[in-house]
Amino acid sequence: MSFLEVESLDVRHGLLQAVRGISFHVDKSEIVTFIGANGAGKTTLFRAIAGAHKPVAGRVLLNGADVTSMPAYDRVRAGIALVPEGRRLFTEMSIHENLVLAGATGRGGQWNLDAVLDVFPNLAPRLRQKTGTLSGGEQQATAIARALMTNPDVLLLDEVSLGLSPAAVDRVYESLETLIQAGTTLLLVEQDLNRALAVANRVICMLEGEVVAQGPVSDMPRERIMQAYFGMNGTQARRIES
């Protein structure tokens, strides 16, 4: 039995079917990166897994338990945490207030205020600062730290480097290495292919709401990923690679 299983998931935005019959599994402590162009359905998929968007068909199972009908707050208590695209912090509240609020779920585990500040030491001097006044990198660090405060079994990271400076992206990925070493199960949406492949065990490529290719990073050459990303044949992919 896999740790997280998604079975034949369909998700709509009104008449638009954004996710089409997607199935995959994730093992405990695995890092899976989702690759696809804008509009491929990655964010909608992550929101459906986290309970923020109700699917019209299919199932989500966590450690064998069907959580498909659970609202988002109950999925957090069950062990699923989402760092959404755009971070979605409580901008009029301080870093400390954002973190303590997340910790109020009462789910036990290794992550508490001291532990997350060890991973993100740049947040410690700014604990009382409103998150709306932080830099993009500091906001992303706060968003990840807030998710960790719920002690998740599965952490979903949507567009972790979006809008950040190269230096801020470096700092965020340094922190992810700490999470990986701690055995955190990560699902990652990332437009930077090099960074995504550097941290992942497995790649799932999406196109127009469907999974079009997946496999271990070692079995997914860049040409195959680009074919899936753009919906191209091998000759077209080689032209772009060159």
What pLDDT shows up at residue 237?
39
Say whether 120 sits in a helix, a strand or coil: coil
Rounded CA separation 24/59 (Å): 11
Q: In tens digits, what is the pLDDT along the chain, a chain of 242 residues?
A: 578 999 999 999 888 899 999 999 999 999 999 998 888 899 999 999 999 999 999 999 999 999 999 999 999 999 999 998 777 888 899 999 999 988 887 777 788 999 889 888 889 999 999 989 988 888 888 998 999 999 999 999 998 777 777 877 787 788 788 888 888 899 999 878 888 888 899 999 999 899 998 999 988 888 888 877 776 554 443 433 43
The structure's pTM equals: 0.87
Q: For the sheet containing 185-189, what is the strand order? A: 80-83, 154-158, 185-189, 31-35, 202-207, 210-216
What pLDDT shows up at residue 232?
57
Q: Which CATH number goes with the domain that contains 95?
A: 3.40.50.300
Euclidean distance between the first and the last CA atom of the chain, given in angstroms as a whole number: 42
Rounded CA separation 17/31 (Å): 27
Number of domains in the chain: 1
What pLDDT shows up at residue 209?
92
CB-CB contact of 55 with 43 (8 Å): no
What pLDDT shows up at residue 1?
55
Domain that holds residue 223: 4-241
Rounded CA separation 25/100 (Å): 32
What pLDDT shows up at residue 62?
94
Say whether 6 sits in a helix, a strand or coil: strand
